[in-house]
């Protein structure tokens, strides 16, 4: 299993190295965000009813009790002095993202999450819940049946089995937009394109690609922002539509990303290795605890006792070669060299960090 995993990992790295030399240009629309074209986060508080005994415990959830009393009073029912003991309702937080330029009457997906001690929201119905933005205004209203996509079962002895997260779910198209965010895109004299991965070279190339087609319309302000101005006779909407398909070569810094938890390594095409020698071996220390029993002689008035005994052995893997990489080695050279040592992905992580510490790895290492 370990050999198969190493071969698969090696194949992935070699494939990335081979593809790096033939990297295609990207469209501008795939590498930038347009100023003003963004979603807005919405949040609300609501009640889910119709649960099969998996809702909040009223005595442990004062917010549900207050919410139920207030809702019933609005419906003309007084339950202030009643002993509410239902477990078929749950207090929930409702979240959604308002898409850019969304028109009133459009629908959006809703996420519902339990706020109390409810066991499951499966099959419950969210009652009408207003969703507010950061400015305190109501932008949408949510209601519908909650789908969790999870399974939960328990026995009388206390044992239980849960698959997924039953206390959070979604309502597909469960929200209706009531208010539109006020933003007149065409009235903007200048719009800024924000790079998803800021870089000096990429920003300059984007500005150059735009000005080559439409002179005097773009300038790179910094590694993150390219400002554009619509030419005469064009609206900002039509101009952005024209420049989005333009191709540009993306330049990225040399970087190695390491996920130590899952043993994943991702290396960019610009990673270079100075002249360095690498040797790798595995050291295994085994400690065996073997309790022995001390039995006294007959009629000696002694007591039987347990005496701990420990065996320690050390094994070191032999036969690993000293690998030497020449100056300016590419990603494919590094991958081939590490595979020649027969190391696992987790050993590769240690080796890359050691190469970086020696000053031979010309790249930035990011550990997740």
pLDDT in tens, 66-119: 888 888 888 888 777 677 777 889 999 999 999 988 889 999 999 999 998 888
pLDDT of 33 above 70: yes
Q: What is the mean pLDDT of the chain?
A: 80
pLDDT in tens, 36-55: 888 899 999 999 999 988 88
**DSSP codes joined into one string, 292-359:** EEE-PPTTS----EEE--EEEEEEE------EEE-TTB-HHHHHHHHHHHT--HHHHHHHHHHHHHHT
Confidence of residue 3 (pLDDT cuts 50, 70, 90): very low
Q: What is the pLDDT of residue 286?
A: 58
- Asked which of 66-80, 178-192, 260-274 is least confident by mean pLDDT, the reply is 260-274
Q: What is the mean pLDDT of residues 160-175?
A: 86
Q: What is the pLDDT of residue 19?
A: 42
Q: What is the pLDDT of residue 172?
A: 93
Report the alpha-carbon distance of residue 144 to residue 126 in Å, rounded: 5
pLDDT of 184 above 90: no
Q: Which of 161-175, 283-297, 320-334 reaches the highest mean pLDDT?
A: 161-175
Q: What is the mean pLDDT of residues 131-158?
A: 84
pLDDT of 6 above 50: no
Q: What is the pLDDT of residue 52?
A: 87
Residue 179: strand, helix, or coil:
coil
Residue 110 contacts by C-beta under 8 Å, 6 or more apart in sequence?
A: 94, 95, 96, 126, 142, 144, 170, 171, 174, 175
Residue 46 CB coordination number (10 Å): 22
Going from the C-alpha of 133 to that of each of 18, 19, 40, 42, 140, the distances in angstroms are 47, 44, 7, 5, 9
Sheet hosting strand 364-367, strand order edge to edge: 264-267, 255-259, 364-367
How far from each other are the two terminal CA atoms of the chain, in whole angstroms?
Answer: 25
Q: What is the pLDDT of residue 288?
A: 61
Q: What is the pLDDT of residue 92?
A: 94
Q: What is the pLDDT of residue 182?
A: 73
pLDDT in tens, 303-317: 777 776 666 665 555
Ordered structural domains, the chain, with CATH? 2-21+254-288+314-367 (no CATH), 26-36+184-248 (3.30.1360), 40-151+160-177 (no CATH)
Residue 256 parent element (H or E): strand 255-259
Q: What is the pLDDT of residue 224?
A: 93
Note the pTM of the prediction, 2 decimals: 0.65
Report the alpha-carbon distance of residue 35 to residue 224 in Å, rounded: 12
- Report whether 53 contacts 123 (CB < 8 A): no
Q: What is the pLDDT of residue 68?
A: 84
Q: What is the pLDDT of residue 181?
A: 80
Residue 368 CB coordination number (10 Å): 10
- Asked which of 2-6, 62-66, 217-221 is least confident by mean pLDDT, the reply is 2-6
Name the phi and psi angles at 116, rounded to 5: -115, -145
**DSSP codes joined into one string, 57-119:** -GGG-HHHHHHHHHHHHHTT---TTS----SSEEEEEEEEEE-TTPPTT-EEEEEEEE-SS-S
DSSP annotation of 23 reads P
Confidence of residue 362 (pLDDT cuts 50, 70, 90): confident
pLDDT of 284 above 60: no
pLDDT of 269 above 80: no
Q: What is the mean pLDDT of residues 172-196?
A: 89
Percent of the chain with pLDDT strictly greater than 90: 36
Q: Which residue has the higher pLDDT, 190 or 289?
A: 190
Q: What is the pLDDT of residue 5?
A: 44
Q: What is the pLDDT of residue 338?
A: 67
């Amino acid at each position: 299993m370990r050999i198969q995993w190493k071969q698969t990992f090696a194949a992935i790295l070699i494939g990335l190295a081979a593809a790096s030399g033939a990297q295609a240009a990207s469209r501008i629309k795939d590498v930038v965000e347009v100023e003003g074209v963004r979603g807005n986060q919405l949040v609300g508080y609501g009640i889910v009813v119709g649960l099969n005994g998996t809702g909040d415990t009223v005595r442990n959830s004062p917010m549900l009790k207050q919410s139920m009393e207030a809702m019933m009073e609005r419906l003309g029912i007084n339950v202030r002095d009643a002993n509410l003991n239902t477990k078929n309702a749950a207090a929930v937080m409702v979240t959604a993202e308002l898409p850019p330029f969304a028109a009133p009457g459009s629908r959006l997906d809703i996420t519902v999450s339990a706020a109390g001690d409810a066991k499951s929201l499966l099959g419950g119905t969210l009652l009408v819940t207003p969703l507010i933005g950061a400015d305190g205004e109501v932008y949408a209203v949510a209601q519908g049946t909650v789908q969790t996509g999870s399974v939960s079962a328990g026995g009388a002895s206390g044992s239980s089995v849960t698959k997924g997260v039953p206390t959070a779910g979604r309502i597909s198209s469960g929200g209706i937009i009531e208010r539109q965010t006020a933003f007149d895109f065409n009235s903007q004299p200048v719009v800024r394109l924000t790079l998803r991965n800021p870089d000096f070279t990429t920003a300059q190339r984007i500005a150059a690609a735009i000005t080559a087609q439409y002179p005097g319309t773009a300038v790179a302000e910094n590694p993150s922002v390219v400002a554009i101005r619509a030419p005469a006779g064009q609206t900002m909407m039509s101009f952005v539509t024209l420049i989005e398909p333009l191709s540009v070569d993306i330049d990225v810094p040399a970087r190695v990303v390491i996920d130590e938890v899952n043993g994943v390594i991702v290396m960019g095409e610009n990673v270079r290795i100075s002249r360095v020698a690498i040797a790798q071996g595995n050291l295994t220390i085994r400690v065996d605890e073997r309790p022995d029993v001390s039995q006294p002689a007959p009629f000696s008035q002694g007591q039987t006792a347990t005496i701990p005994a420990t065996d320690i052995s050390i094994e070191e893997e032999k036969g690993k070669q000293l690998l030497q990489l020449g100056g300016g080695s590419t990603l494919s050279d590094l991958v081939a060299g590490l595979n020649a040592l027969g190391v696992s992905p987790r050993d590769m992580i240690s080796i890359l960090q050691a190469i970086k510490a020696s000053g031979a790895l010309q790249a930035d290492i990011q550990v997740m």
